[in-house]
Structure 1
Amino acid sequence: MVDPVPGADAPHLPQRSQLVQLLTPEGERVEHPDYALEISDEELRDLYRDLVLVRRWDVEATALQRQGELGIWASLLGQEAAQVGAGRAMAASDMAFPTYREHGVAWTRGVDPLHVISLFRGVDNGGWDPVATGFNLYTVVIGAQTLHATGYAMGLQRDGAENATLAFLGDGATSQGEVNEAMIWAASFSAPVVFFCQNNQYAISVPLERQSRVPLYQRAAGFGFPGVRVDGNDVLAVLAVTRQALQAAREGQGPTFIEAFTYRMGAHTTSDDPTRYRLASELEEWKLRDPIARLKAHLSRQDKADAAFFDAVEREADELAERIRSGTVDMPDPDPASMFDTVYAEQTPWLAAQRDEFVAYRASFEEAGE
């Protein structure tokens, strides 16, 4: 379906014919010839709940950072549909490889928000079990997770497993060598991996038009596998496109590159000031494409949800916010020496010696009464 938003042919928005869309910004359900989606009213309500709770988590974490409780926070504001849609498209046995912003995907994989926040508070390196959740630990090194995902997918392939991996990346990461290397390997071995690029328009501060002379999804053709651009603010379209790409990967058809065309409504991280590189008018234009507002409009106009439902979701969001606030503040500080415990699966003599030296060094201050 074409994108009916006024101004959709502007330079910073895709041409109408390029965008897969199943739910317009006004909340109208439309069909696409290549991406049919059968979904129940209950599933629609569940998706709405996901979007609202994930956004509330993000808002609370941003506030906690501003209050000095977190060292930094990477906001997903505006990208909820891309992440929830992709996460809900995964099978339980699939594995996701995130960057450091995929809080919405973490939510869909059953990761406790406090286990993500503990990483940004500096309490640990990520408190969840990647094997149990099918959600790998966050990767801060830009693009490295695409190599991890491709290697994991090749392992699945050799084990004869009918699973797939989903590698998340941003538009800026497509300029990294690791991403290009990962796509070369994935194509060469028809690895069961889907590259899911959240194109939020700016990388950190560089606009898309400076990053690429062609739409990002078209780059996939150069590597020899399909690319598709989906409305990243349309949770239904993202769900349908990602589900189909993952199924193709499981069936041995090789990788797919998905470009979720979306927008980062906030800063790159809490250390960033987006007003220095983008216009307020652009932000206002993208507010009209808000992923939560469009699904709420659809549910309301089609009588698929009533006021009681929306009120209940808001109450649940308030409860989640309170749990996040109290849980973050109450996190105990770790023993500094524990940083040596999980570097390797098994302790090495060299690392054990470093740990002993560090413990003795700290003890020397206590002995001196400092």
Structure 2
Amino acid sequence: MIIAGIIGSFSLALIAIGVMTTLVPMHGVGIGFSPLDIGWIAGLYYLGFLVGPWIAPPLVQRLGSGRAFAVAALLALGGIIVLPLFPDAAAWAGIRFVSGTGFAVLYILAEAGLNAEVSNAGRGRMLSIYMIVSKAALMLGQLVVGTLGVEGWAPFVAASGVVALAAVLRMQIPTGKVLMSAGRLRPLRVLRAAPVAMTGCAIYGLGEASLYALGPLYAQSNGMGVAEVSMFMTATLLGAAVAQWPLGWLSDRMDRRRAILLGVVCTMIAVCALGLTARPGFAVALAGGFVLGGSLLPLYGLLVALGNDSATNEERVEMGSGLVFAYAVGAIVGPPAAAVLMELTPRGLPLWLAALSAVQIVILLVAMRRPAPLTQPL
């Protein structure tokens, strides 16, 4: 009941994120924003994900997790509903920063609450369900945009409405395991406690954000038309949906680091297949995209599970904050770095992902020389 309530309430917030992902650039262009304006607005939104992890621990310490969720939802909601009032790019950038901060805190609280309710032995499967439902909610947000369009107040009201509903639902959930907090984020402490998870989240952010931002451009530069580009990106999401549960199940049956290593090795194989082919045929690109999505995109859930395996309930908010902070750093740095490589060669994106995979493999192999953390029985 508690786990279903946490996933359900956060999924409503994710519908809003899905709506805003498309609504912000399309509505912005419609009111005269330039591509550079849209880029800055997106950058400030993700900058909020750097700030949110510093806010979450003191919020939980002072208000408790339920009311902290409501405050974060208010920040996210406010950063949606006021946008049509200020048709100015600079104002939108500042407002999206506030919204990004709120959504970052919502991520942290949802994941901390879920991890508090499950033992290590079932953590991978539970987070796999969470990730699958999250992807479905994001896709539902796209359908909302398709239904309401990108003009007028309707899509903004709908997005802010589901965030408000998420806060109301979250406040109705029984308390469950009490989440405490040290009151502040200490990144070095999180790094010492979960080095593989934190470095892995940073590397994941470098790769995942690059794939989402530049995957369509990579496909287009290799001769794909608009419909084929769409199918290539859809193949990555389909691969993630298919592989998420098996990888989560596997991570509960073995040293979780081995399951992560399997995903990273498969990522390396997929990007090498794409990168070593001068202009991969559409079928090869589609298969490579499916394997790439199925091996790369599920890794976040496994990394969060790994980090929380060694955390107590009193440490989960700080652990979650540290992992989201690491992801945000990677997500901000990754696309520009990958774009530089793509300026040099159309194979730049696969080469970038291959380099990241190689670094992650080395980190995992070194870490696996130590015994795996003990797991708890279900």
TM range (shorter): under 0.3
Which protein has the larger Cα radius of gyration, Structure 1 or Structure 2? 1
User: What is the TM-score normalised by the length of structure 2?
Assistant: 0.26
Structure with the higher helix share, 1 or 2: 2
Relative CO higher for 1 or 2, CA cutoff 8 Å, sep ≥ 6?
Answer: 2
User: What is the TM-score normalised by the length of structure 1?
Assistant: 0.26
